[in-house]
Chain A
Amino acid sequence: MTPTVSASGLSLRYGGTRALDDVSLRLTAGVTGLLGPNGAGKTTLLRVLATALPADRGAFTVLGHDPGTARGRQEVRRRLGYLPQTPGFHPDFTAFEFVDYVAILKEMTDRAARHREVRRVLDEVGLTEVRGKRIRKLSGGMRQRVALGAALVGDPGFLVLDEPTVGLDPEQRMRFRELIAEAGQGRTVLLSTHQTEDVAMLCHRVLVMAAGRVRFEGTPAELTARAAGRVWSSTERHPGAKAGWRTGTGTFRNVGDPPPGAELLEPTLEDGYLLTLDGAGAEVAA
């Protein structure tokens, strides 16, 4: 399958900190999850791929265009949707006006066609009812959907979503998952998240980052399989476990190298993620 995004050797430093360290990846159609602890470089990678931030070194292409040239970046931006980690708005705009403004910035100059597209996108993100309401009067979840609508307008081939479900209640998060799953039909979506459930439910591929490097690239099943035979139950936290916590039933769920005869449990994606981080030398919260 031809990759939508192909990157090699992306590196970027902030002062003495290596935010990206020789990152190479290939993204194909569907939703790819990007997991990693705070400070892993997820947002930096997303901003670089979304052309919001130039890298120090390395190269990448998006839909066959090289954003390292002015013309290439322009072409990439014509095919890109980007939802930043903390989207901002002009609060006096209505949801319709704001998405329409972004549509103009995306060079949609035919008013009738643009308005049709804005209405389609607002319908897709479930905001038709409130499209005439000022953004300042919308809830956090609705504002997030306005931002997703702005990213989706123009039907981009590559969609970059930076922690879109942060701060949403479970119902809103579920609704957002549906939207992202729909958005992933026929286009490439890169989704940064702290929620392993988001990745388990939505993604066909997953990347795990730590300390600016990609530590894992594969399917969610492959990440989960990393923890096979390495999750066990005990009556107290096992001292040798990489991570362990008391569950609702009162027993401890341990992740790491089990002692002989341990009662093994079915691993989850989160277990595989924790073990991947531990292998990367990152801090694992117990």
Chain B
Amino acid sequence: MLLIRHLVLPVHRTVPWGQVGAAGAVGLLLAALTRTGESAERLSLYLLRAAILVFALGLAFLLDDPARHTTATVPTRRPVRLALRVALAVPAAAAWWLVALLLVPPDVRPPVADLTLEAGAAFVLAVAGGAAVVRFSELTRPGRSLAAGLLTTSVLAMLFWPGRWALFVPVEDERWGAAHDRWAVLLAVAVILGALCTVEPLRRRVRP
């Protein structure tokens, strides 16, 4: 615990807040668009989803670490270091989400709990993706390529995801409840994958 206390400040300084902040600002702008007129109000769900996506793209940079190789063999374990970064980002993400929700007029605000689930899953997926890149590659700054991959995947998922497993459904759609069950599964899978990817292997898997 003492070690964590000493690490908080330097790790905070290693987090790429610039990218996260820029994405957050763009996301809030999108959320604020719901106040610009009647048609924007009708689109509030989609604007909020776009805002979530943009902020998730910013979080894809969270595990960028130019000093990764210089600090690769220190005794403080990788899961501890990554968890600390994530822990530092959680309050910022929560605050951002609260502001984004408050920017949407209450009468057109989509169901908060369900949309919070979507946001949580998107954010965790972005960070878990970063953990996976760190686990399986030598990249020190995976954020840019990861964000590009996330954006492409999200657009493709919105366009081509099979209807019976739909995730992006409108509020009035009868599949809304089922879609959010799937969001919950997605969140759980992302949490597990992210946690597994933080572990440093002792052996490589030998291919025959």
Partner of B72, one of A57, A82, A90: A82
Distance in angstroms from B12 CB to nearest chain A CB is 11
Cβ of A54 and Cβ of B75 under 8 Å apart? no
Partner of A100, one of B10, B202, B206: B10
- B-contacting residues, A71-103, CB 8 Å: 73-74, 77-78, 80, 82-84, 86-93, 97-98, 100-102
Partner of A105, one of B66, B75, B140, B206: B75
In the bound complex, how far is the Cα of B7 from the Cα of A90, in angstroms? 15
Stretch touching chain B among A106-114, A166-174, A258-266:
A106-114
Distance in angstroms from B74 CB to nearest chain A CB is 4
Cβ of B73 and Cβ of A90 under 8 Å apart? no
Distance in angstroms from B46 CB to nearest chain A CB is 38
Cβ of B75 and Cβ of A70 under 8 Å apart? no
Q: Which residue of A lies closest to B1 (CB)?
A: A109
Q: Which residue of B lies closest to A97 (CB)?
A: B10
Q: Count how many chain A residues have C-beta atoms less than 8 Å from C-beta atoms of the other chain.
A: 43
In the bound complex, how far is the Cα of B138 from the Cα of A52, in angstroms? 11
Q: B164 contacts which chain A residues (CB < 8 A)? A: none
Cβ of A12 and Cβ of B75 under 8 Å apart? no
A104 within 8 A of B: yes
Given A54-B204, A56-B206, is A87 in contact with B70 using a C-beta cutoff of 8 Å? yes
Distance in angstroms from B124 CB to nearest chain A CB is 25
Q: B201 contacts which chain A residues (CB < 8 A)? A: 54
Partner of A77, one of B6, B13, B73: B73
Cβ of A88 and Cβ of B140 under 8 Å apart? yes
Cβ of B73 and Cβ of A92 under 8 Å apart? no
Distance in angstroms from A272 CB to nearest chain B CB is 32
Cβ of A68 and Cβ of B202 under 8 Å apart? yes
Cβ of A104 and Cβ of B7 under 8 Å apart? yes
B-side residues, CB < 8 A to A, are 2-3, 6-7, 10, 13-14, 65-77, 81, 140, 201-204, 206-207
Cβ of A82 and Cβ of B204 under 8 Å apart? no
Cβ of B71 and Cβ of A105 under 8 Å apart? yes
Q: A235 contacts which chain B residues (CB < 8 A)? A: none
Cβ of A84 and Cβ of B10 under 8 Å apart? no
A55 within 8 A of B: yes
Q: Which residue of A lies closest to B199 (CB)?
A: A70
**7 sample A-B contacts, Cβ–Cβ < 8 Å, listed by A number:** A54-B202, A56-B203, A57-B206, A70-B202, A74-B77, A97-B13, A106-B76
A122 within 8 A of B: no
Cβ of A69 and Cβ of B68 under 8 Å apart? no
In the bound complex, how far is the Cα of B77 from the Cα of A143, in angstroms? 25
Cβ of A90 and Cβ of B74 under 8 Å apart? no
In the bound complex, how far is the Cα of B74 from the Cα of A83, in angstroms? 12
Cβ of B74 and Cβ of A102 under 8 Å apart? yes
